[in-house]
Amino acid sequence: MPTVRRAFVLLLLAAPALAQGRVSYEIAFPNAVHHEAEVSATFAGVPAGKPLEVRMARSSPGRYALHEFAKNVYSVKAFDGRGRALTVTQPNLHQWNVGGHDGTVRVTYTLFGDRADGTYT
């Protein structure tokens, strides 16, 4: 019986990982001469009634300093699963919130990057 109980507890602990929605990314370079990338991220299975919080990292593996990668992000837009525009708010430099969605959110933005190593892009 203890083995069954342990298995049940393990299953409960693993449930949040299994409940994660699917995320897919598309990256295009229509304006590469100006060092811009167009990024599209689609989040499926977003809980209804709760805003989606999208955040840009502020750190890089192996580095101990904070970096403001989001300063190179602009033209942020969001759309629901039917293609309708959604309101995007930015509570701080590295976070965008999207509410009023139907469970699917597509976020698009332009990323400026003039360095080839990618760390400070």
Query: Sign of torsion, CA 92 36 104 58?
Result: negative
Provide the b/e sequence for 107-119 (b: ≥16 CB within 10 Å): bebbbeeeeeeee
Does 80 reside within a domain? Answer: yes
Query: Which residues face 68 on adjacent strands?
Result: none
Count of the separate structural domains present in the chain = 1
Q: pLDDT per residue over 81-108, tens digit each?
A: 999 999 999 999 999 999 999 999 999 9
Residue 36 lies in a domain: yes
CATH number at residue 70: 2.60.40.3650
Does 57 reside within a domain? yes
* pTM of the shown model: 0.78
Range of the domain at 78: 22-112
Residue 119 lies in a domain: no
Would 120 be classed as within a structural domain?
no
Rounded to 5 degrees, what are φ and ψ at 108?
Answer: -120, 145
pLDDT, tens digit, 9 for 90 and up, residues 21-75: 899 999 999 999 999 999 999 999 999 889 999 999 888 788 788 888 899 999 9
